[in-house]
């Protein structure tokens, strides 16, 4: 067997808190421990977590400038003004724009939606403002962009256009001179939860607007909007806790119903229609297809899918997105392979931040490739593509560990053109002449934060158990902690001395691993699957004892229900 390559870090839990919570809520101790591990030891907080309610959404007025935004939008509705809706080209951007268009149209607004191509550049820019003016709009509403669009907003004012910004990207030191800038990351924001995606911020503004102008329709607005909010929230990898958890828990149920023509076609094209959906389905299947439009062609394809009411058009658009998704995967594989080869060159061996640049790397997939390389090299990565026409590099960055990209890029502002994003992911452009200086400065900024010494990656483990705990009621109750994602990962357990029976390959290409695992305390073995680890068949003999890290799940297949183990790691029994 291979050497251990993951450090299993078992979370210590206060046994008294676990026992108290289990008694207060009538929960099995293992479920109570999971809640305590997630800092939910108070019964009321744990109860709200297990049963997320729309009634627990915080008041939109907690966000800065919501009143100003609602005042201006309500005035536009009253006067019959044309509203120019400006979105963004990623999944969060198109869901935000679709949400705004659907809600404003339902309120009787005269609204024109626009999502730029990636080649047009990120954010509200002067050409976008000119487009709004030419369309006869008097108000621009942004969705998932605009907080750094100082020049574009100033230009809009000279043309007599008002601008209302809804965005969740980190603001710069100066805000645009807009009628309203609704952004949870403003310094003056008092919201109890700030980690919203663009669709979440747009939802807040629209929720307040509906409450003002059509209060009797507020609940129906919420129920109709949450499928799109869930899509944007998960696709943008926001923390699935607190308010985002409410959005996604309810949004997944709404999404599964497939009431919108475009979402129904998307589910049908991915074989998910009629199935219970999870955040994993959005993050790994639906979100990537929406993103593929902006990456490889025109984000308007995804936007049209989300707003169409025509089933035939929806079906055609879903087919196009599937083809673009396949194309994205091929291009991403190529760029990742080439960039990884460069990352491993001696010249980068002692770089705390990997800045990799080449002409042939398409801007559309460098973000995905950067994330993969950061994970493998365990260092922050900036992946850049060269544009001959402008003599600039454009690309994306992904962090690793505690390195804050947003702070670092602000410290490099004198070397950069446009940049923006978050602490863990960001976009950037810079003149080619500044590439070396940018690379050196990032290296210096990472001193003391990013280590060049080999670091053993850790696997967070919720508890070490024997296996007798795994009954159907317990595993079913574990699903109450879903949706799982960032800051609320799937529970992971370790069992030592499990017997590996009948190890074999699985899948058409034998890429995956399967065995029957007999856990101490259980009379019958459980099916255990480890994706992308088929080579473990060559390291095991039936009857070997192993220590395993896994997540237990309920599996339904051909009318049969069973408990199945999803493996995360395995090693010889100790």
Q: What is the CA angle 66-68-74, rounded to 5?
A: 95
pLDDT for residue 383 is more than 70: yes
Place of tokens 């696709």: 235
Q: Place 359 in a pLDDT band, splitting at 50, 70 and 90.
A: confident
Please give the average per-residue pLDDT across 461-465, as a whole number: 97
Question: Judging by DSSP bridges, how do beta strands 180-182 and 354-358 pair with one another?
Answer: unpaired
**CB-side neighbour CA atoms (13 Å) of 524:** 7
Per-residue pLDDT of 29-82, as tens digits, reads 999 999 999 999 999 999 999 999 999 999 999 999 999 999 999 999 999 999
pLDDT for the residue numbered 88? 94
Does 5 score more than 90 pLDDT? no
Cβ pair 394, 435 in contact under 8 A: no
Per residue in 177-215, pLDDT (tens digit) is 999 999 999 999 999 999 999 999 999 999 999 999 999
Distance CA 278, CA 383 (A): 31
Q: Rounded CA gap, 350 and 440, in Å? A: 11
What is d(CA 360, CA 356) in angstroms, rounded to the nearest whole number?
Answer: 12
Name the percent of the chain lying above pLDDT 70. Answer: 99
Query: What token pair was written down for 498?
Result: 């499990």
pTM value?
0.92
Preceding amide of 374 cis, omega within 30:
no
Q: How many residues can be counted in the chain?
A: 574
* Helix (H/G/I), strand (E/B), else coil: 31: helix
pLDDT value of residue 4: 52
Count the alpha carbons within 13 Å of 537 in the hemisphere toward its beta carbon. Answer: 16
pLDDT category at 360 given cuts 50, 70, 90 is confident
Please report which confidence band the pLDDT of residue 118 belongs to, taking 50, 70 and 90 as the band edges. Answer: confident
The first and second tokens of residue 354, run together, are: 């990997």
**Can you tell me which residue has the tokens 């999803």?**
566
Question: Is residue 137 a contact partner of residue 112, using CB atoms and an 8 Å limit?
Answer: yes
Indicate the range of 200-204, 294-298, 338-342, 434-438 predicted with least confidence: 294-298
Nearest-angstrom CA–CA distance, 522 and 532: 27
Q: Are strands 392-398 and 425-431 parallel, antiparallel or unpaired?
A: antiparallel
State in Å, rounded, how far the first CA of the chain is from the last one: 13
7-20 tens-digit pLDDT: 999 999 999 999 99
Three-class DSSP category at 389:
coil
Segment 250-289, tens digit of pLDDT: 999 999 999 999 999 999 999 999 999 999 999 999 999 9
- Alpha carbons within 13 A on the beta-carbon side of 310: 5
Q: How far apart are CA 415 and CA 410, in angstroms?
A: 10
The pLDDT assigned to 1 comes to 37
Q: How confident is the model at residue 418 (pLDDT cuts 50, 70, 90)?
A: confident
Question: Across-strand partners of 357?
Answer: 384
Helix (H, G, I), strand (E, B) or coil at 438: helix
Average pLDDT over residues 410-418: 94
Please, which residues bridge with residue 426 across strands? Answer: 397, 421
Q: What is the pLDDT of residue 511?
A: 94
Residues 500-514: tens digit of each pLDDT: 999 999 998 899 999
Place of tokens 């992904």: 398
**What number is the average pLDDT over the span 118-138?**
92
Decide if pLDDT at 410 tops 60: yes
Task: Report yes or no: 501 and 525 within 8 Å, Cβ to Cβ.
Answer: yes
Q: To the nearest whole percent, how much of the chain has pLDDT over 90?
A: 90
Other CB atoms within 10 A of residue 39 CB: 9
Domains and CATH numbers, the chain: 7-12+458-572 (2.40.50.460), 60-319 (3.90.1640.30), 344-445 (3.10.310.30)
Backbone dihedral angles phi then psi of residue 63, each to the nearest 5 degrees: -85, 140
Could you give the C-alpha distances from 377 to 223, 332, 341, 369, in angstroms and in order?
A: 43, 17, 11, 12
373 to 352, 448, 504: CA distances (angstroms): 13, 21, 30
Three-state DSSP class for residue 571 = strand
Distance CA 190, CA 188 (A): 6
Q: Write out pLDDT tens, residues 535-571.
A: 999 999 999 999 999 999 999 888 789 999 999 999 9
Residue 397 sits at φ, ψ, to 5 deg, of: -130, 145
State residue 3's pLDDT score: 42
Strand order in the sheet with 419-421: 354-358, 381-387, 392-398, 425-431, 419-421
Give the integer Cα–Cα distance in Å for 129 and 157.
10
> Distances in Å between the alpha carbon of 535 and those of 391, 505, 506, 539, 540?
46, 8, 11, 7, 10
Cross-sheet strand order for the sheet of 110-114: 110-114, 82-86, 139-143, 162-166, 180-182
> What residues form DSSP beta bridges with 164?
141, 180
Max CA pair span of the chain: 77
Judged by phi (left if over 0) then psi (alpha if -120 to 50, else beta), residue 139 lies in beta
């Amino acid at each position: 067997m291979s050497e251990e390559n993951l450090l299993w870090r078992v979370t210590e839990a206060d046994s008294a808190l676990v026992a108290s919570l289990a008694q207060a809520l009538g929960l099995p101790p293992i479920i109570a421990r999971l809640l305590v591990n997630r800092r939910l030891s108070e019964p009321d907080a744990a109860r709200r977590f297990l049963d997320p309610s729309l009634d627990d959404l915080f008041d939109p007025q907690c966000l800065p400038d919501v009143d100003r935004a609602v005042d201006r939008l309500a005035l536009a509705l009253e006067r019959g003004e044309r509203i120019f809706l400006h979105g963004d080209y990623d999944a969060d951007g198109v869901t935000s724009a679709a949400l705004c268009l659907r809600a404003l149209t339902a309120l009787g607004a005269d609204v024109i939606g626009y999502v730029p191509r990636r080649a047009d550049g990120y954010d509200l820019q002067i050409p976008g403002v000119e487009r709004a003016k030419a369309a006869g709009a008097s108000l621009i509403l942004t969705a998932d962009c605009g907080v750094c669009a100082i020049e574009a907003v100033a230009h809009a004012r000279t043309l007599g256009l008002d601008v209302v910004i809804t965005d969740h990207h980190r603001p710069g030191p100066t805000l645009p001179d807009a009628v309203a800038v609704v952004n949870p990351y403003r310094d003056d924001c008092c919201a109890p939860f700030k980690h919203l995606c663009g669709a979440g911020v747009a939802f807040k503004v629209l929720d307040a607007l509906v409450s003002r102008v059509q209060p009797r329709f507020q609940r129906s607005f919420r129920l109709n909007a949450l499928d799109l909010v869930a899509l944007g929230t998960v696709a943008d990898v926001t923390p699935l806790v607190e308010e985002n958890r409410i959005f996604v828990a309810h949004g997944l149920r709404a999404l599964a119903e497939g009431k919108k023509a475009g979402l129904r076609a998307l589910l049908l094209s991915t074989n998910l229609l009629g199935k219970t959906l999870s955040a994993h389905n959005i993050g790994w299947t639906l979100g990537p297809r929406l993103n593929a439009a902006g990456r490889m062609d025109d984000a308007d394809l995804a936007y049209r899918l989300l707003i169409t009411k025509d089933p035939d058009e929806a079906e055609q658009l879903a087919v196009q997105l599937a083809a673009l998704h396949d194309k994205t995967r091929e291009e991403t594989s190529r760029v990742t392979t080439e960039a990884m080869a460069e990352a491993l060159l001696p010249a980068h061996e002692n770089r705390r931040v990997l800045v990799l640049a080449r002409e042939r790397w398409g801007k559309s997939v460098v973000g995905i490739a950067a994330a993969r390389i950061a994970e493998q090299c365990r260092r922050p990565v900036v992946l850049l593509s060269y544009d001959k026409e402008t003599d600039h590099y454009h690309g994306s960055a992904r962090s690793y560990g505690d390195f804050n990209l947003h702070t670092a890029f602000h410290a490099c502002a004198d070397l950069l053109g446009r940049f923006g994003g978050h602490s863990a992911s960001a976009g950037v452009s810079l003149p080619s002449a500044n590439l070396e200086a940018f690379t050196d400065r990032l290296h210096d900024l990472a001193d003391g934060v990013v280590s060049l010494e080999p670091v053993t990656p850790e696997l967070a483990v919720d508890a070490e158990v024997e296996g007798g705990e795994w009954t159907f009621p317990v595993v079913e109750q574990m699903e109450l902690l879903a949706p799982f994602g960032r800051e609320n990962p799937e529970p992971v357990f370790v069992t030592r001395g499990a017997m590996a029976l009948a190890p074999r390959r699985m899948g058409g290409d034998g890429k995956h691993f399967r065995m029957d695992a007999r856990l101490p305390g259980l009379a019958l073995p459980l099916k255990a699957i480890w994706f992308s680890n088929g080579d473990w068949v060559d390291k095991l003999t039936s009857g070997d004892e192993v220590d395993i890290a896994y997540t237990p799940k309920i599996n339904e297949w051909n009318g049969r229900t069973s408990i199945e183990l999803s493996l995360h790691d395995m090693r010889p029994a100790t």
